[in-house]
Amino acid sequence: MSAAPATPRALPVRDLLAVPLLGALLLRRRTWQIAMLVASALLVWHGLVGPQLAPKNLATLAVWVHYRGLLILALLVAGNLFCLACPFMLPRDLARKLRRPTRRWPRLLRGKAVGIVALVSVLYAYELFDLWASPWATALLILGYFAGATLVDAVFEGATFCKSICPIGQFNFVASALSPLEVRSREASVCATCSGHECLTGAADGGARGCELGLFVPDKAGNMDCTFCLDCARACPHDNVALATRLPGEELLDDASGSGVGRRSQRPDLAVLGIVFTFAALLNAFGMVSPVYALQRGIAEVLGTTSDAAVLGVLFAACLVVEPVMLLGAAAALSRGALTGRPGLTATVVRFAHGLVPLGVGIWAAHYGFHFLTGLWTIVPVTQKAVADAGLPFLGQPRWGVGGLGENVVQPIEMGLLLLGALGSLAVLWSIARREAPLRPRRAFAPWAALTMLLLAAAVWLLAQPMEMRGTFLEA
């Protein structure tokens, strides 16, 4: 087994699991999960029986403003911490104590196809049912995640729900390519002489389980499919698993074959996931600025329909299928002539698509960061009120009227995130171009760079539009 890092790293590597208190805290997954379970229970309860007014309800506020913001910020400054603390895994683990799953997830469905459909479905439902404005629907969504994880994993072995279905998981897997932390081995030589492979198969005494996502630590390349659950670290008898610092985006630069994932250039499903992730970032932001309503009315007129679902369907198809096919197809057509071996259009797209992910992360971070930062303190009075409603008035009188950071402060942060994302994309695309077209890297790079700048311009324009968050768009 070769475990040498695929690219030389200039930054000194630190292992967070070796930091005294921090390492122990990170390894206490159950504690984090229980905390998240208690929080989810509070949100579901408030979503179902609390006031059905989004800004006054913990379900809508905590999920769509604070949780989404913290999720993407955690991915940017650390890693896939939400999956580490995922509460959906608790009832699922409990159910597995009662009944061991015996079936294998069908081979045909093993890629990301189902996960992509699930991710797009959640984003579609978000717009169609105005989940952001509906506490009880948000509560149902949370319950749906619990039920989905428990049912799927009661039937199928391994972490089928996480790896192949969970929309949050797919989002986190893509975004964590930009995380500065990665689970990897401490010493390659220790893995080389290891015969038990407990990080994959589980501890010999049956105590700690091995990687349920099928990742073998010494052969792992990047964060794709890794939930940061640290089962591997608990299972390894040689204490050889690290949560190590690395260059964010490093895994997008090379085309190393990673355990359980394979080579990116051989995984069209991963490319599609990255593309959907990036274009959905634009679409989700577009969903809340004023020009979208004019466009939706236009679509409705052309179709001669008054069905929100149909208009939204057309918008989704245009933004997540037609637009990427045209734009990436054009970039691939213009660049493939310069590539070694002149691969086909699809193969070219699959090789370069990951280069757009940093920009996608930048757009999601700018958008969710906006809501999180401008609404930062609004959680305080809503929690005070919810806890008081639950019969525990110890948090005092709700302080209505608190907000967050001013838009004049948040806007530069948003633009900074977009720019950083675009720079990251350009850097990754340049390294892909140098790899795929060593003789004419500039020719190969130029069309993709132009596409990045086009998407950046679209994102800047979108986030500079006046926000307009509306539930109904078809009535004038």
Q: What is the DSSP letter of 243?
A: E
Q: Count CB neighbours of 242 within 10 A.
A: 22
Q: What is the DSSP letter of 377?
A: G
In the complex, minimum distance from the CB of residue 159 to ligand SF4, in angstroms, rounded to a whole number: 6
In the complex, minimum distance from the CB of residue 397 to other proteins, in angstroms, rounded to a whole number: 14
Identify the bridge partners of residue 185 per DSSP, sorted by sequence position: 241
212 phi, psi to nearest 5 deg: -75, -10
- The one of ligand SF4, Cu ion, other proteins, none whose footprint includes residue 65, by CB under 5 to 8 A per kind, is other proteins
Considering beta carbons, is residue 134 or 259 the nearer one to other proteins? 134
Q: How far apart are CA 304 and CA 445, in angstroms?
A: 43
User: ∠ CA 4-270-265 to the nearest 5 degrees?
Assistant: 55
In the complex, minimum distance from the CB of residue 435 to other proteins, in angstroms, rounded to a whole number: 43
DSSP string, 50-118: S-S-GGG-HHHHIIIIIIHHHHHHHHHHT--HHHHT-TTHHHHHHHHHH----BPPPGGG-SSHHHHHH
- The one of Cu ion, ligand SF4, other proteins, none whose footprint includes residue 67, by CB under 5 to 8 A per kind, is none
30 phi, psi to nearest 5 deg: -55, -45
Given candidates 259, 371, 441, 448, which one binds other proteins under the rule CB under 8 A?
371
Q: Is 288 in the site for Cu ion (CB under 5 A)?
A: yes
Q: Is 287 in the site for other proteins (CB under 8 A)?
A: no
Choose the binding region for other proteins from 160-168, 236-244, 267-275, 400-408 (rule: CB under 8 A): 400-408
Q: How many residues bind other proteins (CB under 8 A)?
A: 44
| Binding to other proteins in span 168-227, by CB under 8 A | none
In the complex, minimum distance from the CB of residue 88 to ligand SF4, in angstroms, rounded to a whole number: 4
196 phi, psi to nearest 5 deg: -80, -30
In the complex, minimum distance from the CB of residue 252 to other proteins, in angstroms, rounded to a whole number: 32
Secondary structure (3-state) at 231: helix
Choose the binding region for Cu ion from 94-102, 184-192, 281-289, 446-454 (rule: CB under 5 A): 281-289
Considering beta carbons, is residue 137 or 332 the nearer one to Cu ion? 137
Give the amino acid at 334: L
241 phi, psi to nearest 5 deg: -105, 135
In the complex, minimum distance from the CB of residue 308 to Cu ion, in angstroms, rounded to a whole number: 18
Q: Is 263 in the site for other proteins (CB under 8 A)?
A: no
Taking residues 14 to 53 in sequence order and writing x for each that binds other proteins by CB under 8 A, - otherwise, the string is ----------------------------------xxxxxx
Q: Is 61 in the site for other proteins (CB under 8 A)?
A: yes
Secondary structure (3-state) at 156: strand
Considering beta carbons, is residue 56 or 264 the nearer one to other proteins? 56
In the complex, minimum distance from the CB of residue 379 to other proteins, in angstroms, rounded to a whole number: 8
Q: How far apart are CA 355 and CA 457, in angstroms?
A: 17
- Spell out the residues 6+ positions from residue 211 whose beta carbon is closer than 8 angstroms to its own: 199, 200, 217, 231, 232, 260
Q: How far apart are CA 145 and CA 172, in angstroms?
A: 15
Q: Give residues in contact with ligand SF4 (CB under 6 A).
A: 82-83, 86, 88-89, 149, 161-162, 166, 168-169, 183, 211, 213, 215, 217, 220, 226-232
Residues contributing to the site for Cu ion (CB under 5 A)? 288
Interface positions with other proteins (CB under 8 A): 48-57, 60-61, 64-66, 129-130, 132-134, 136, 139-140, 288, 290, 371-372, 374-375, 378, 389, 400-404, 466-472, 475
